[in-house]
Amino acid sequence: MFCTGFLLSPSATRKPNTLFLPENKNQLAAISPTIPQCWAILENPLTNSIYCKEDCIFQSKSVAIPARIIIFASAPMTREETLRFRDQLVAWFRIHQRRLPWRQTKDPYAIWVSEVMLQQTQVKTVLPFYQRFMQKFPDIQHLARADLQEVLKVWERMGYYGRARNLHKAARIVVEEMDGKIPEDYLQFRLLPGVGDYIGAAVFSLAFDKPHPVLDGNVKRVISRLFLIESPMTTSSSTRYLKERASQLLDRSRPGVFNQAMMELGATTCQPRKPICSECPVSLFCQSCQTGRQHEIPVTMSAKAVPTYHLATGVVYRDNHLLITRRNTRGLLGGLWEFPGGKVKKGETAEQACLRELREEVNLSVEILGRITQVKHAYTHFRIVMDVFRCRYGSGEVVLRGPVDYRWITTEEIDQFPFPGANHKFIPLLLNQGTNE
Ligand code: SF4
């Protein structure tokens, strides 16, 4: 038994059939400022529909009445419109697409690698990484044979290292358990580490021409604008709805090229802040553009405040060598190497935190010689401010608590290890200094 609902704006300036699907009070609060008067409608199939003001939707949620979601969105395209939409989009793509290396092949491995890299990263950033990666690991056997550290080294500075670890793990499974052949069975492929809906649909449509609609951020934005969807793209109900629309639009006779065309349109023309509707091949089908509202869609949630953490890190010198430690392969920056350190606790100075962290994490007593620099770095969900100290080894032998490995290295050897981006911000200072304290 559940009860849920949708919101519909009665404002005369809005189409009455636009979609709102808030899933909780915060989402509603994020949307509400854009909607002068919201009304919630709960439909109970056993009784009559209930109409109430926006607050009621949440009170009613606690009432155990059966209900179903009715989506009020702009009208879907007719069959004829859909056919014309597909033709115009694909014709545009054939002429205007960017010539990218992974578009010149049907090799599922090459396409898989590119799609993993393209998750959360833009094409222009991915290009040099992709080329280096394919040179070093030209096929799945090379990747499976490689040590994780080699893979992370090639991936270094692209971020989201979990993608690299999963791809490496999946390559080993394919080689060891599937005779080195990427499965052509969709469900089997989806079971591999790191293969979600997006990667599965992209690889299967692009490499094998199987009819799976892709739904990356670009495609979600295009569909939201095409159908004037006034609900944040990130909610699960919106995702379900977007999937449905993506599936209806998909050209099943040429899913690979159609999916690429949708992604390309979002990446190059239907851009987040400045959609170039005057150059869009499907503007006549786009309800946001036709009503002049393309800049309002997609609706965004108010951004959460991003916390900032203060860290202290020690570069420990001992006999012309520096200490580095390796992070556990699970979790953030897993498998990368770094200089030891950690969070500054409340009431501590950064120097005190550095001495404590070195004692706790690697069992060393050191003398702080001075601060090398302060580094600021942003991750997806938080930021760090890191004080980096030059330290002289005092006493103790390394015993690891947290890290899984360590090395005493010279500055010439730094380049052999993959480090997080924040460490790269001060490594050049160490290289200038050499291994002298
Ligand atoms: S017309 Fe404009 S808003 Fe609509 S899909 Fe094209 S670029 Fe995007």
Higher pLDDT, 13 or 210: 210
Is residue 32 pLDDT above 70, yes or no? no
- 297 and 376 in contact (C-beta within 8 Å)? no
Which of 74, 245, 249, 294 for mutating ligand 1's site (highest number of atoms within 8 Å of CB)?
294
Strand 308-318, strand 383-395: pairing: parallel
How many Å apart are CA 414 and CA 430, to the nearest integer? Answer: 10
pLDDT category, 37, cuts 50, 70, 90? Answer: very low
Q: What is the mean pLDDT of residues 86-96?
A: 98
pTM of the model: 0.79
pLDDT category, 5, cuts 50, 70, 90? Answer: very low
Q: In 3D, which of 400, 399, 403 has the Cα closest to residue 331?
A: 403
Atom number, ligand 1, closest to the C-alpha of residue 276: 7
Q: Note if 296 is an active site residue.
A: no
Ligand 1 centroid, distance to 166 Cα (angstroms): 35
Instruction: List, in order of start, the domains of the chain with CATH numbers.
Output: 6-61 (no CATH), 79-290 (1.10.340.30), 308-433 (3.90.79.10)
* pLDDT for 239: 82
* pLDDT for 232: 79
pLDDT category, 43, cuts 50, 70, 90? Answer: very low
How many Å apart are CA 263 and CA 225, to the nearest integer? Answer: 14
Is residue 52 pLDDT above 80, yes or no? no
Residue nearest to atom 8 of ligand 1 (CA): 270
CB atoms within 10 A of CB 217: 17
How many Å apart are CA 76 and CA 73, to the nearest integer? Answer: 8
385-417 pLDDT tens trace = 999 999 999 999 999 999 999 999 999 999 999
Is residue 94 pLDDT above 80, yes or no? yes
Higher pLDDT, 46 or 275: 275
Output the CA torsion sign for 293, 295, 298, 303: negative
- 228 and 297 in contact (C-beta within 8 Å)? yes
Residue among 43, 54, 115, 264 flagged as catalytic = 115
Higher pLDDT, 47 or 232: 232
How many Å apart are CA 105 and CA 110, to the nearest integer? Answer: 8
* pLDDT for 368: 97
pLDDT category, 180, cuts 50, 70, 90? Answer: very high
Ligand 1 centroid, distance to 400 Cα (angstroms): 55
* pLDDT for 435: 58
Ligand 1 centroid, distance to 126 Cα (angstroms): 25
pLDDT category, 432, cuts 50, 70, 90? Answer: confident
Q: In 3D, which of 409, 399, 326, 341 has the Cα closest to residue 149?
A: 326
Atom number, ligand 1, closest to the C-alpha of residue 269: 7
* pLDDT for 437: 62
* pLDDT for 78: 87
* pLDDT for 19: 38
How many Å apart are CA 220 and CA 239, to the nearest integer? Answer: 8
301-312 pLDDT tens trace = 777 789 999 999
Output the CA torsion sign for 337, 343, 349, 353: negative
Atom number, ligand 1, closest to the C-alpha of residue 222: 5
* pLDDT for 240: 82
Q: What is the mean pLDDT of residues 415-436?
A: 88
Q: What is the mean pLDDT of residues 243-248?
A: 92
Residue nearest to atom 3 of ligand 1 (CA): 294
Ligand 1 centroid, distance to 366 Cα (angstroms): 60
Q: What is the mean pLDDT of residues 197-220?
A: 96
Ligand 1 centroid, distance to 274 Cα (angstroms): 10
Atom number, ligand 1, closest to the C-alpha of residue 297: 3
Which of 85, 224, 225 for mutating ligand 1's site (highest number of atoms within 8 Å of CB)?
225
Percent of the chain clearing pLDDT 90 (strictly above) = 73
Q: What is the mean pLDDT of residues 72-93?
A: 85
3-state SS string over the chain? CCCCCEEECCCCCCCCCCEECCCCHHHHHHHHHHCCCCEEEECCCCCCCEEEECCHHHHHHCCCCCCCCCCCCCCCCCHHHHHHHHHHHHHHHHHHCCCCHHHCCCCHHHHHHHHHHHCCCCHHHHHHHHHHHHHHCCCHHHHHHCCHHHHHHHHCCCCCHHHHHHHHHHHHHHHHHCCCCCCCCHHHHHCCCCCCHHHHHHHHHHHHCCCCCCCCHHHHHHHHHHCCECCCCCCHHHHHHHHHHHHHHCCCCCHHHHHHHHHHHHHHHCCCCCCCHHHCCCHHHCHHHHCCCCCCCCCCCCCCCCCEEEEEEEEEEECCEEEEEECCCCCCCCCCEECCEEECCCCCCHHHHHHHHHHHHHCCEEEEEEEEEEEEEECCCCEEEEEEEEEEEEECCCCCCCCCEEEEECHHHHHHCCCCHHHHCCHHHHHHHCCCC
Which of 86, 88, 280, 297 for mutating ligand 1's site (highest number of atoms within 8 Å of CB)?
280
Atom number, ligand 1, closest to the C-alpha of residue 277: 2
Q: What is the mean pLDDT of residues 214-240?
A: 87
Ligand 1 centroid, distance to 197 Cα (angstroms): 25
Where do we find the tokens 């049907």? 106
Which residue ranges have their beta carbon within 6 Å of ligand 1? 222, 225-226, 269-270, 275-277, 280, 282-283, 286, 288-289, 294
